[in-house]
Structure 1
């Protein structure tokens, strides 16, 4: 079980809940703080004007709400903002959103009754996910629309996904004996007014981006291996004089992957040989193409970008991100803009640009393997059949190229795409949830691209019949992939096996780790 609210929730904790189905628990000490915070707000709000408790919302905050309508105000907020459109978020992203909202509320600065966090815990642990739409909030004043649909389910309305079926929330709650939330003071605003949609999606993006980076380092090493590249471009000596952590981590990783390989060459054994000095034209390339030789310089910044994103988004996950902040320790209520999603939005934009570059590197390495005029080692399109009659990997290249092109278009930043709305009350916004969702699309695309690259690599290995010369790590991966993608000679449709390879890469961690 993973405790929520007592200690900092880490990326690994988050991953365990999302991908390993670990349950969450609410420590009694943390729950007691939530209770005290709620009781303070009840007492403090008497005979005071406090935004969102006895006023309207946004530009209508100038209107006071009468005592008898205070609870209805919260219900009105939830129902009126349940106005999303487009596709429903995948259940894994909804669960991530719920964990993020729960962790924020458990910081005990939101003035909510413990009923809210206990109900959220129950839904998370039972894998009951609200039906939440992709399109909605603008990422300032929080992910209002997405979180409104969460609120709608908490009060027993709307729809949920449970055991792969859509259910009426009211009917499912009745069947499972779950009591809907009853509003006490400001639970509606506290549920809606935060960055939890973009943050939850962002955390999943970072987990998947780390996998992508590991696989990209693995496939870059394998590509260098099967073309018998020289080892100095990922050597310690070359990379250590460039003072970037990411570059040196990638170089170290490539050395580990290729440990024991009989295909990687040392420059001193070949080009430095005395017999070469009098040659006018060298048969061997003196230096490899950039997509092989500059892997550490290309993937290094991507490593650093993912690391930065993890730090920032994890900070947001463990932050209080609603308004106002109910501070029982200082006996005050502070109004401001902690719901603003700029931190997450900017990191998601940086992350999607980095992952787009990763997909571009994969596409260039793929093209190198498929173009016999470049590699001078494999038949065109790594065709193991009859040239002209068979087509090898020719068809899948189109898919990889078009998918990378889409990534490049999607890489326009959302962070600078503010559109004022809400009667200009929200006059500069983050578009953070949009940024996180587009980043997810880029990540999904990139798994498809690197899957095609891996399929091509194992076909090339079979052409060379070099299995016994591979490093132990690359040989092991070759064997694993051949279980789901057998060697082919005669042409056949590839779309089903492409999907199998993509899913394998998405759900499995690469056999390397970048953890310090």
Structure 2
């Protein structure tokens, strides 16, 4: 059980909740803060004070005063009108992450919602009633309005939810599980949709996958190093300590440990003096990507515990401030950086693939073919890797430097953070397939060398990998091998001892 209080949620917690179905519960003290802020909203409505989002319109309509009798209806119109998302839905895991993050933000007690709203969000997460949320339509300020409006629809019994692998109407699932739709009251609609939880949820899922991929990249690069009889001297600890980047030092250490005991690894001068950069500079390149991942993690964990709606209530409602915490620029920049980090893992991997298949760059059979000429072997695998890497280069264009004014120029600078998060996800998916191709080619190279000469750790990786993608005995449809290896990498952690 993970207790949420708006302040201490971590990436590890989110991984447990979203991937291992850990249940969540509301911290009692935090619920007390929720109650205080709600009392303040009710006082404002009763007194008739003019406060944005409580008894005014939204965006450019902020100067339109709403009558007391209409403040609840205002929230319903807000949710329905803002549910303009389009495109394929987010994965169930991303949508669940959104529910949890929105719940955690409301528990800070600055948003003015009733306890029943946070309890419903908790129940949606725990009962696996996960909203179906279209993935396109957010500008990233004022937060992720369109995606979060689709989340809020489920609270009022509208929209759709995942039911296992199926999609059903929310009202149907509510009836099956005995839930009643909630009627939103003053400020609650705005509190639910005004925030960065969509881009942050996508960012959390991206980070979890990218971190795993960075670890796998070290293993797969180590296999390639052995398959090409690479020079271990370039990984000497003194070189990396001399530069001083901890992540670079860590990658070099991992490569040394993974290849320990190998009879394929060489010393400088034995076969050549230096390797190409794609082998020699693995710690520098992989390490730089890990530096970026550390930055991304830091920003995500801050945002996961942030109050990002507007206005916010402080001092038990005595201080009400309109600001711009919904602006997604911190996450937009983090996602753009994550795109670069993941793209570079694939970029250098594709160059290693080329060295594995190109007969002018190694002494292996051309394109790792069992019968070069008659059979093409892994020739077109490199084409596919090159295509994916090139696609990543276009996706890596920063979204955070773009902006389009909205709401009649009231909202005249936006973050496009959701676009950055979605593109980061695509890059990570592509990078995973590139690394699966490198893994396949690395295993084939080991067979031509003699896999028994590889390090014990690489032999274990080879054994597991071959259970997913068999050796090339003759040309076949390799597409399935690439997809199967990528799917296996997605489900497993490379922990083969080293």
Aligned to 1:235: 236
From 265, 284, 292, give the equivalent of 1:297. Answer: 284
The answer on whether the counterparts of 2:56 and 2:66 sit within 8 Å (CA) in structure 1 is yes
The answer on whether the counterparts of 2:75 and 2:185 sit within 8 Å (CA) in structure 1 is no
From 505, 509, 515, give the equivalent of 2:489. Answer: 505
From 432, 450, 456, give the equivalent of 2:435. Answer: 450
Aligned to 2:417: 432
C-alpha deviations, 1:407-453, integer Å up to 9, x for none?
01111100001111110111000011111011101011111111111
From 448, 456, 460, give the equivalent of 1:476. Answer: 460
State the secondary structure of the residue aligned to 1:374: coil
The answer on whether the counterparts of 2:41 and 2:54 sit within 8 Å (CA) in structure 1 is no
> What is the CA distance between 1:6 and its match in structure 2?
5.9
C-alpha deviations, 1:176-219, integer Å up to 9, x for none?
11122221321100001000000010011111110111111111
Task: Determine the C-alpha separation between the residues in 2 that align with 1:72 and 1:94.
Answer: 26
Q: Which runs of 5+ in 1 are unaligned?
A: 272-283
Aligned to 1:402: 387
Report runs of 4+ in structure 1 exceeding 4 Å deviation: none
Aligned-pair Cα RMSD in Å: 1.5
State the secondary structure of the residue aligned to 1:372: coil
* Residues 1:324 and 2:311 aligned together: yes
Aligned to 2:322: 335
C-alpha deviations, 1:274-299, integer Å up to 9, x for none?
xxxxxxxxxx3211001000111111
* Residues 1:40 and 2:40 aligned together: yes
State the secondary structure of the residue aligned to 1:61: helix
> What is the CA distance between 1:86 and its match in structure 2?
1.2
TM-score by length of 2: 0.97
TM-score by length of 1: 0.94
The answer on whether the counterparts of 2:54 and 2:71 sit within 8 Å (CA) in structure 1 is yes
Task: Determine the C-alpha separation between the residues in 2 that align with 1:318 and 1:202.
Answer: 14
Matches within 5 A, 1:303-314: 303-314=290-301
| Residues 1:182 and 1:330: Cα distance change in structure 2 (over 3 Å) | closer
> What is the CA distance between 1:378 and its match in structure 2?
0.8
> Matched residue pairs, number?
496
Aligned to 2:5: 5
Task: Determine the C-alpha separation between the residues in 1 that align with 2:282 and 2:468.
Answer: 28
Task: Determine the C-alpha separation between the residues in 2 that align with 1:337 and 1:176.
Answer: 38
Matches within 5 A, 1:159-170: 159-170=160-171
State the secondary structure of the residue aligned to 1:86: strand
The answer on whether the counterparts of 2:223 and 2:439 sit within 8 Å (CA) in structure 1 is no
Aligned to 2:201: 200
> What is the CA distance between 1:237 and its match in structure 2?
0.8
Task: Determine the C-alpha separation between the residues in 2 that align with 1:328 and 1:201.
Answer: 33
Task: Determine the C-alpha separation between the residues in 1 that align with 2:455 and 2:495.
Answer: 13
> What is the CA distance between 1:262 and its match in structure 2?
2.3
Matches within 5 A, 1:10-89: 10-45=10-45, 46-89=47-90
The answer on whether the counterparts of 1:34 and 1:114 sit within 8 Å (CA) in structure 2 is yes
The answer on whether the counterparts of 1:407 and 1:442 sit within 8 Å (CA) in structure 2 is yes
The answer on whether the counterparts of 1:202 and 1:436 sit within 8 Å (CA) in structure 2 is yes
Aligned to 1:279: none
State the secondary structure of the residue aligned to 1:439: helix
> What is the CA distance between 1:133 and its match in structure 2?
0.8
